[in-house]
Structure 1
Amino acid sequence: MPDPAPVPASAAAERADAARQAVPAKSGRVRTAKKRSTLPKAPKADLADHPAWQGARLFPVAGLRNDHEREARATSTLLAVMTQVPEFGRRLTARFNAPAGTVQTFVEAPFKHGDGKVRPDGVIRVARAGRIWTALLETKTGGSPLKAEQVEAYLDVAARNGYETVITLSNDLALDGEHPLTVDKRKLRKVALRHLSWAEVAHEAHMLCHHHGLAGPAHAWLLGELLHYLRHDNAGCQGFQDMGQAWVPVRNAIAAGTLRPGDRYAPRVAESWERLVRQLCLRLSGETGLNVAPVTRRRRGGDAGERRAAIVASLIGSGRMSAEVRLPGAGGPVRIEADLRTGRIETSVEIPAAARARALTRVQWLLRQLADAPPELRVEALADGRPDGPCEVLKNLRSEPGLLVPAGGEIASFRLTLPTGMGAKRGTDEAGFVRSVDIAVDRLHQEVIRVLKVDAGG
Structure 2
Amino acid sequence: MGDLDQVLEKSHRARLFPVLAETSKEGRATSIYLACLASVNEFGRVMLASLGQRVGSRAQIAAYTEVAFPMGKGEKAARPDGLVVLRVGARRWTALVEAKVGNADLSVAQVELYCEVARRYGIDAVVTLSNEFASLPAHHPLEISAAARKKVEVYHWSWMNVLTQATLLIDGAGVEDADQAFILAELVRFLTHPSTGVKGFDRMPAPWPDLVAKAQAGAPMSPASEAVREVVGAWHQEVRDLCLILSRQLTTEVDPHLPRAQRADAEARLRADAERLCAEHCLGASLRVPDAAAPIEIRADLRARAIVVSMKVRAPEDRKSNKARLGWLLRQVEASDPAGIHVRLHYIGRAPSRQASLAEARTDAEELAGGRDAPELVSMEILLVSDLAAKFAQRNKFISELEAAVPSFYERVGQHLKGWQPRPPRLREDRTEPESVSVEALAEESEEEASATQNVWFVPEPE
- Tell me the TM-score normalised to structure 1 length: 0.74
CA distance 1:257–1:222, shift in 2 (3 Å): same
CA distance 1:260–1:229, shift in 2 (3 Å): same
The residue number in structure 1 matching 2:63 is 105
* Matches of 1:303 and 1:154, distance apart in 2: 22
Q: How does 1:173-188 map to 2 (within 5 A)?
A: 173-174=133-134, 177-183=138-144, 185-188=146-149
* Matches of 1:349 and 1:78, distance apart in 2: 37
Quick check: 1:365 aligned with 2:328? yes
Quick check: 1:145 aligned with 2:110? no
Quick check: 1:356 aligned with 2:356? no
The residue number in structure 1 matching 2:170 is 209
Q: How does 1:290-369 map to 2 (within 5 A)?
A: 290=252, 292-297=254-259, 305=267, 307-354=269-316, 355-369=318-332
Greater mean alpha carbon deviation, residues 342-351 or residues 181-190: 181-190
* Matches of 1:244 and 1:401, distance apart in 2: 44
Does the aligned pair in 1 maintain the 2:70–2:77 contact within 8 Å? yes
* Matches of 1:178 and 1:132, distance apart in 2: 24
Comparing both structures, which one devotes a greater share of its residues to helix?
Answer: 2
Cα shift at 1:456: 8.2
**Counterpart pick for 2:115 among 149, 155, 165:** 155
The residue number in structure 2 matching 1:383 is 347
Q: Secondary structure at the match of 1:281?
A: helix
Structure 1 moving runs of 4+ over 6 Å: none
The residue number in structure 1 matching 2:429 is none
2:382 maps to a residue whose letter is L
Identity of aligned residues (%): 31
The residue number in structure 2 matching 1:80 is 35
**Counterpart pick for 2:241 among 272, 279, 282:** 279
Cα shift at 1:259: 4.4
Specify every segment of 5 or more residues in structure 2 that has no aligned partner in the other structure, as ranges: 1-15, 424-463
Matched length: 392
The residue number in structure 1 matching 2:3 is none
CA distance 1:216–1:304, shift in 2 (3 Å): closer
Greater mean alpha carbon deviation, residues 216-225 or residues 95-104: 95-104
CA distance 1:119–1:414, shift in 2 (3 Å): same
* Matches of 2:267 and 2:92, distance apart in 1: 38
1:110 maps to a residue whose letter is A
Greater mean alpha carbon deviation, residues 236-245 or residues 373-382: 236-245
Does the aligned pair in 1 maintain the 2:132–2:141 contact within 8 Å? yes
CA distance 1:105–1:450, shift in 2 (3 Å): same
Computed over aligned residues only, the root mean square deviation of the Cα atoms, in angstroms, reads 3.4
Does the aligned pair in 1 maintain the 2:99–2:129 contact within 8 Å? yes
Q: Secondary structure at the match of 2:363?
A: coil
The residue number in structure 1 matching 2:182 is 221
2:153 maps to a residue whose letter is A
* Matches of 2:52 and 2:260, distance apart in 1: 27
Does the aligned pair in 2 maintain the 1:390–1:403 contact within 8 Å? no
Question: How big is each residue's C-alpha offset from its partner over 1:160-203, in whole Å with a ceiling of 9 and x where there is no partner?
Answer: 43333322112233457343334565554454333222233223
Cα shift at 1:387: 6.5
Quick check: 1:424 aligned with 2:389? no
Question: How big is each residue's C-alpha offset from its partner over 1:229-283, in whole Å with a ceiling of 9 and x where there is no partner?
Answer: 3344442333443322232331233344434336431122122222322332344
**Counterpart pick for 1:89 among 44, 50, 53:** 44
Does the aligned pair in 2 maintain the 1:370–1:452 contact within 8 Å? yes
Does the aligned pair in 1 maintain the 2:25–2:101 contact within 8 Å? yes
1:391 maps to a residue whose letter is Q
Cα shift at 1:337: 0.8
* Matches of 1:298 and 1:102, distance apart in 2: 32
* Matches of 1:192 and 1:361, distance apart in 2: 54
Greater mean alpha carbon deviation, residues 142-151 or residues 445-454: 142-151
- Tell me the TM-score normalised to structure 2 length: 0.73
* Matches of 1:97 and 1:352, distance apart in 2: 35
* Matches of 1:398 and 1:182, distance apart in 2: 50
* Matches of 2:308 and 2:115, distance apart in 1: 45
